[in-house]
A and B are shown apart, each in its own frame.
Chain A
């Protein structure tokens, strides 16, 4: 069955340090991949997505993620985090034979400390 695994429930990191949030998925068909961010008391905002083409995708605020088909992973990275990056990050997949639903992981809380 399709599933998304985010092994780290919380990642504490100091400001200006690099960070990687891990995401692995399981699916019998090809997928599209997404990262969403949720700030406290807010809804989800799309951070970046992989649909096709280059396996490295970037967001406007310095995050990037790389699709690795052989390892079924889509890890999110940022070379230098800011306090304002503190939030919950959700990885999600949409299977190519299913147009309607996103399947989310359980989320990783990124806690940036000064």
Chain B
């Protein structure tokens, strides 16, 4: 069974650019959540996708957007990058997004904005 994978591992962008991060969910999982983990802090919830629909969003501006595809893989897009967007971006998948489901995390993508 393949776990959650993310690509790329590391990414360097400049302020104002746009970035796309990718996540492949664990086999059998149809729900994907994205989190931002700034240096020295805990992860902050960005949004969740269930069966290709966004069904929950944290306190992040609209320039953070996402997609989920029919195979339940997902993308996180960030427009107009700011220096504060530098962080580790974590993707987590679960079987149904239910309240008692365990979220399984990928290794993350380290984004640096210069």
Contacts and interface: CB of A to CB of B under 8 A. Distances in A.
A106 B105 CA distance: 17
Contact of B105 (A43, A49, A100): A43
Contacts of A46: 102-104
Q: What DSSP secondary structure best describes chain B's contact surface? A: loop
A104 B105 contact: no
B45 A103 contact: yes
Interface residues of A, number: 26
Interface stretch (B35-43, B64-72, B77-85): B35-43
Given A43-B90, A46-B104, A99 B40 contact: no
Contact of B99 (A4, A94, A107): A94
B95 interface: no
Contacts of B55: 100
A90 interface: yes
A104 B43 contact: yes
B102 A49 contact: yes
A81 B52 CA distance: 43
A42 B107 contact: yes
Interface of B: 4, 33, 35, 40-45, 48, 55-56, 58, 90, 92, 97-100, 102-108
